[in-house]
Amino acid sequence: GDKVKQSPSALSLQEGTNSALRCNFSIAATTVQWFLQNPRGSLMNLFYLVPGTKENGRLKSAFDSKESYSTLHIRDAQLEDSGTYFCAAEASSGSWQLIFGSGTQLTVMP
């Protein structure tokens, strides 16, 4: 089965609303990274997380290693937030290898 499972697989939002994306891990993740792939295909790093939370503008992310999940909250969604969001987990300390989820395709509508 999937070692990193993302939900939902697709999501549509009205501009100005809030949403949460989730990743569940079936591996012992030590760190988590969140990326946004824009419609042109470029990947941008949003967060690098050890267990805990981080916030950047309208984005907030949390990683709970004991419960094996991570979340990404988007507040006041804007059109430019559209794209595919990926989470990726480092499988074991020191490996530096990331295991990616299949992504959440987000569409923000005016």
Site map 3..22 versus other proteins, x via CB under 8 A: -x------------------
Piece of 11-19, 53-61, 67-75, 83-91 that binds other proteins (CB under 8 A): 83-91
- Name which of 108, 61, 64, 109 is nearest 86 in CA terms: 61
Report the residue number, 64 or 100, with the smaller CB distance to other proteins. 100
Binding other proteins by CB under 8 A: which of 11, 13, 59, 98?
98
- Listing DSSP states for 6-72 in one string gives EE-SEEEEETT--EEEEEEESS--SEEEEEEE-TT--EEEEEEESSEEEEETTEEEEEETTTTEEEE
How far apart CA 69 and CA 87 sit, in angstroms, is 10
Residues between 12 and 71 with contacts to other proteins, criterion CB under 8 A: 31, 33, 35, 41-45, 48
In the complex, what is the shortest distance from the CB of residue 100 to other proteins, in angstroms, rounded to a whole number?
3
